[in-house]
Each structure stands twice: as structure tokens, then as C-alpha cells.
Amino acid sequence: MSEPTVLIVPGLRDAVAMHWQTLLHARLRAARRAVVSVPAMGRADLDCAARIEAIERAAQLVAGPLVVVAHSGGCIMVAHWAQRTQRAVQGALLATPPDFDSAMPAGYPALDALDEGGWLPVPRTKLPFASIVAASRDDPLGPFDRIAALSRDWGSELADLGCVGHLNPASGYGEWPAADGFIAQLSGAPASA
């Protein structure tokens, strides 16, 4: 059986050269590992349906097994996408999902904007594939206990990352080598039907 292709799903951000997902994509390509990325779409247009379609288009480009690697709002996108897709998925790494059920800090979308964009309610059903939620103890976008509850609802394994902020450049993260271990763990999981 071949190694799964890694599908990278960014959150509500523009393209960021030093983001761990951007660096992961480059590292996987350099190692000749199959990798596809959903384009970063920023925060100007919060149309969740358009983002779900972008995930579906990218996933359908992959012929074999697939491991999804999402960050922040991308985790919520994947939860919405999982309810609609027929695409088999080996597993998903869901890193620092936000708590979209609570008001976000200044500079992030308001609850009414998320609702209008189709993000709410956040899916709480069990994901149809193996998944790991990697959660931070001091994430300004999602209190650990709320993200742990989301992880349980999704049927995900919870990985406590300790205090890593939002696992982004603003929190001091560029490279995140731990992602490789999580991807390897999910690559050995049985694929969903």
C-alpha cells in the first residue's frame, strides 16, 4: 500500500510563508511525498460552502489514500466537509481548532459573521475517519476544555500540546516537527469507506 497523500487545509488566513503548514508542504515535497494544499482564502470572504468545495476539489485530485492536515478554522471546515463528502480519508490531523461557538478576540470574525458565512453550528458529530485533535493549553482562540469537548464529539484522539498559543508564527511557530509524527500515526490508520 502506498503512503497517503497529505492534503493541507489552512484556516482563516492568507498565505503565510513561515506558517508551519507552508513549511510542512515544502518539506514533504522536498522528501518526494505527495502533498496537495487547499489555497489560503483569508478572512475577507467567510463563505464556508466555498471553502468546503475547495477541500472537495483538492481531495478529488488525489487517486489514492489521503491524510488531511488542518489548522485552526480549517479544522472546522474539515468537520463540515466530512458531513458531505464521499471521499475516503485515512485520517485527519486537526491542529488547534478554534472555539467558534464563543466570541473570538478582536481582529477575528464575530459570531454573527461566522453564522452568516455558514460556519455555525459547528458540527459535533463523530467524524467518519480517524482523527487527532492537537490542542494548546493557552490558545487565545479556543480554551483547552472546550476544544477537548469538541475532540470527544468528533471521536478524535486528543493530543495535549502544552502551551503553544495558537501554533502559528504569532505564537513563535514556524516549523512544527511534531506534525510529522501525527501524520505517520494517521498514515497507519485504516481508511474510511
Domain containing residue 153: CATH number = 3.40.50.1820
Answer yes or no: is 15 within a domain.
yes
Q: Which pTM was predicted?
A: 0.95
Of all residues in the chain, the percent with pLDDT exceeding 90 is 88
| Assigned domain for 151 exists | yes
In the predicted model, what is the mean pLDDT of residues 112-116? 96
Tally of helices (H runs) and strands (E runs) in the chain: 6, 6
* Residue 67 counted as domain residue: yes
Amino acid present at 75: C
Amino acid code (one letter) for 163: C
DSSP H or E stretch at residue 86: none
Q: What pLDDT is recorded for position 47? A: 96
- Is pLDDT at 14 greater than 60 in this prediction? yes
Question: Tens of pLDDT along 147-189?
Answer: 999 999 999 999 999 999 999 999 998 999 999 999 999 998 6
Alpha helices in 127-187 (DSSP H): 144-154, 178-187
Query: CA angle 87-148-163, nearest 5°?
Result: 110
pLDDT given for residue 44 in this prediction? 87
Is 193 part of any domain?
no
Phi-psi region of 167 (alpha: psi -120 to 50; beta: other; left: phi over 0): left
Determine phi and psi for 14, rounding to 5 degrees: -80, 180
Give the cell for residue 86: 464521499
Least confident segment among 102-106, 114-118, 189-193: 189-193
Grid cell locating 160: 495535549
> Does residue 123 contact residue 82 with C-beta atoms inside 8 Å?
yes
Residue reference for cell 461557538: 101
Total structural domains within the chain:
1
- Neighbour count for residue 186 (Cβ, 10 Å): 23
Neighbouring CB atoms inside 10 A of 79's CB total 25
Q: Please say whether the beta carbons of 148 and 173 come within 8 A.
A: no
Domain residues for 26? 5-187
**Res 193 pLDDT > 50:** no
**Residue 40, pLDDT above cutoff 80:** yes
Average pLDDT over residues 22-51: 93
pLDDT per position as a tens digit, 122-149: 999 999 999 999 999 999 999 999 999 9
